[in-house]
A and B are shown apart, each in its own frame.
Chain A
Amino acid sequence: DAGVIQSPRHEVTEMGQEVTLRCKPISGHNSLFWYRQTMMRGLELLIYFNNNVPIDDSGMPEDRFSAKMPNASFSTLKIQPSEPRDSAVYFCASSLGDGETQYFGPGTRLLVL
């Protein structure tokens, strides 16, 4: 079975540009999580969805960040406008159910110049 799929794997953009990260969870999983990882702050949860509904977005840094899950097989994380401090690795993870094992995608390495 395919694992969690993320695209793009790498993104380099200039400050002020819009960035959209994409995630396809494992088929049948009903929870989806977006994380950001940096050396300084470690692995931080940004938002998570259950059955396509956002449950907790308290980790979203500011209004520049938004996330959607229009259906069970697709989610996006958008940053508009992007800033250099947004540079990080963004992971998407999915799980079969509440509190179950989370399976991480390969991540998107974002560099904002």
Chain B
Amino acid sequence: QQPVQSPQAVILREGEDAVINCSSSKALYSVHWYRQKHGEAPVFLMILLKGGEQKGHEKISASFNEKKQQSSLYLTASQLSYSGTYFCGTLGGGSNYKLTFGKGTLLTVNP
């Protein structure tokens, strides 16, 4: 099942902070975060694994609550380059390693 992302869109001024949430109705093994700029391919930001391990971007932080099956992406002191659509992809574990992506959160950072 597709994870639910919130908010759908957010507009910030440069330097402001934002939080993007991702929740699933099923147990998760890992959550993957990607950013896509208009007309480009999704670019990997971070993986959060069950058990607390994280791999990814140094300037972006995220959390993964296994019990609540939720993840949040924290963008602090936003820059113009942060603009884009953020997707979370969830992996349910087992032997099937297919990611299911949310519909995305459109982030716009204005000067």
Which residues of A does B touch, CB under 8 Å?
31, 33, 42-45, 48, 50, 55-56, 59, 91, 98-107
Contacts and interface: CB of A to CB of B under 8 A. Distances in A.
Interface in B60-93: 87, 89, 91
A94 to B, nearest CB: 12
The binding surface of chain A is classed by DSSP as strand
Contacts of B30: 99
Contacts of B34: 104
Contact of B97 (A42, A44, A50, A107): A50
Nearest to B97: A98
A56 B97 CA distance: 9
A42 B104 contact: yes
10 contacts: A33-B98, A43-B101, A56-B96, A59-B98, A91-B41, A91-B42, A101-B32, A104-B42, A106-B40, A106-B41
The 9 A-B residue pairs whose C-beta atoms are closest, nearest first, are: A104-B41, A98-B97, A43-B101, A42-B103, A99-B97, A101-B44, A104-B42, A45-B98, A56-B98
Nearest to A42: B103
Interface of B: 2, 29-30, 32, 34, 40-44, 47, 55, 87, 89, 91, 96-104
A107 B41 contact: yes
B91 A102 contact: no
B87 A43 contact: yes
Contacts of B40: 106
A44 B97 CA distance: 14
A77 B64 CA distance: 35
B29 to A, nearest CB: 7
